[in-house]
Amino acid sequence: MNLTTWNPFREMEELLRRHQRGAMTLPSDDGGFEWAPAVDIKESKNEYLIEAELPGVAKEDVKVSVNNGVLTLEGERHTEKKDEDEKHHRVERFYGHFQRSFSLPEDVEVARIGADSKDGLIRVHLPKTKVTTPKSVEIKVN
């Protein structure tokens, strides 16, 4: 029997370690953790770009949707088949359902949003609409 010194910050340290490994963990209703992929959001002159790290997730298991100005990225990383002869000493990868949602800026042209997946990275392209400057119009009063 091993005795472990109680550390009140152990859970916070574990949460930070998981975040630093590239996946966020969020408390779930059942007392465990749900995972969410790490995401970078970039902006260029012509588009916004969301890049999510999804190693081990097939593109068929990822769904990208837009509803009421909110882009949702969701999917699932399936667990590997367990071999009865194997014994796991440590499991650090996250499995199961994930979901991330982002409010879209007003200048995104929703009809032209596209996504691609390569080498465990999904890239969602959010093209900007051409912003027209309002013209000043003089109205004649009769």
Is the separation of the CB atoms in 65 and 3 below 8 Å?
Answer: no
Query: Sign of torsion, CA 52 56 59 63?
Result: negative
Pseudo-torsion of CA 34, 17, 101, 50, nearest 10°? -140
**Whole-angstrom Cα distance, residue 55 to residue 118?**
10
Encoded amino acid at 96, one letter: G
Of residues 138 and 80, more confidence is placed in 138
Provide CB contacts within 8 A for 95, sequence distance 6+.
35, 77, 78, 79
Q: Per-residue pLDDT tens for 89-122?
A: 777 667 788 889 999 998 999 999 999 999 889 9
Q: What is the CA radius of gyration of the chain?
A: 22
In the block, which residue shows the tokens 């890049």? 51
Q: Per-residue pLDDT tens for 29-87?
A: 555 556 788 899 999 999 999 999 988 888 898 999 999 999 999 988 877 777 777 77
